[in-house]
Amino acid sequence: MKVAAQRRYGGPEVITIQERPTPVPGDDEVLVQVHASTVTLADCAFRKADPFIVRLFAGLFRPKIDVLGDDIAGVVAAVGPKVTQFSVGDRVHGSAGANLGGMAEYACLKEAGAMVKAPPGQDLVPLGGLSYAYLTAMPFIRDEGKVKPGDRVLINGAGSSIGAVAIQLARYFGAEVTAVASARHETLARALGADHFIDRHAEDFTRRRDSFDVIFDAVGKSSHARSAAALKQGGIYLTTVPSWGIFWLMLTGGQRGGKRGKLATTGLRPELDKRGDLEILNALLEQGAVRPVTDRTFPLARIAEAHRYVETETKAGDVVVVMPVAEAPLRLAGHAADIAG
């Protein structure tokens, strides 16, 4: 099978297409023929070992986790003898887990992992980018923000993978949503349910006063210190990206002047919790409350180009890498980047 793998840390060019033996599923594993996976900023961080701390997980001198790719969407090709919940031919989607490995034609996942059957009729390719964004946005919006009807929620980086899902979830929980992004992402943000839009190049949202119950910085480009004044008393600032400022705030009581702040690490949640949330995602997809947002698709052979594009930090929604098995039907279907749905 073909995999996108790297032998050393570095720029996008270190990722090359290699041939590997197709894995054989263990007793409790499912072999998935992957149709699509995604490239994210987290993949780029792993690829180049920046920040340095990545080396503690991925290998000190060279990558032990050499096939990246967290999300997978595909079709079950084989199951281990103890597997009861999946059968050959099932269409599935989810997260490959801590060892990644989704950027390959086949991947073995634990039956008890963060994987569910795909909703009937749902195109697999856009799902190849959705789990990552959804499994991040959902715990932030529901568990940390505790968003409820009538809350005023601001999403910074509203066009990002995580931001695009966060808008939809905040709306689903009944909030009045303000999206912050570059002007070119306004149409998308409003199509996803944003009530208000701030062009971040024209207005600094941190200058608003006592306006929001929740500020969710999906791209971690702001800070609690600068954003706190825009929160209502008792409001919470949430960020996806670690910084000394948010660590210090969390170590010293988690709030200043009644304006709370938190970083959550959603990737570290138990697999069973993620799986439960993927079941909820399926229901949301079927209701039309959440839809995937695909910025661009790249064939596996152009994986380095996908990394380069993701690193521009300009994308809207997900960059999906399509495996050879799914390329031909895609062309027949005339699939094109779906931004506004």
Q: Which residues bind ligand NAP (CB under 6 A)?
A: 40-42, 136, 156-157, 159-162, 181-182, 185, 200, 218-221, 240-241, 264-267, 310, 313-316
CA-to-CA distance for 278 and 290, rounded, in angstroms?
A: 12
- Rounding to the nearest 10 degrees, give the CA dihedral for residues 318, 308, 70, 190: -20
Give the nearer residue to ligand NAP in terms of CB position, either 40 or 255. 40
Give the nearer residue to ligand NAP in terms of CB position, either 267 or 299. 267
CA-to-CA distance for 295 and 154, rounded, in angstroms?
A: 22
Give the nearer residue to ligand NAP in terms of CB position, either 60 or 183. 183
CB of 72 to ligand NAP, least distance (A): 16
CA-to-CA distance for 43 and 254, rounded, in angstroms?
A: 29
Sign of CA dihedral 300, 42, 117, 295: negative
| 3-class secondary-structure state, position 92 | strand
Give the nearer residue to ligand NAP in terms of CB position, either 24 or 340. 340
CB 271 within 8 A of CB 113: yes
Of 58, 37, 59, give the one whose Cα is nearest residue 106: 37
CA-to-CA distance for 220 and 243, rounded, in angstroms?
A: 9
Give the nearer residue to ligand NAP in terms of CB position, either 122 or 294. 294
CB 79 within 8 A of CB 23: no
Of 311, 320, 303, 297, give the one whose Cα is nearest residue 2: 303
Give the nearer residue to ligand NAP in terms of CB position, either 74 or 157. 157
End-to-end distance of the chain based on CA atoms, in angstroms? 33
Burial (CB < 10 A; 0-12, 13-18, 19+), residue 172, is middle
Give the nearer residue to ligand NAP in terms of CB position, either 75 or 241. 241
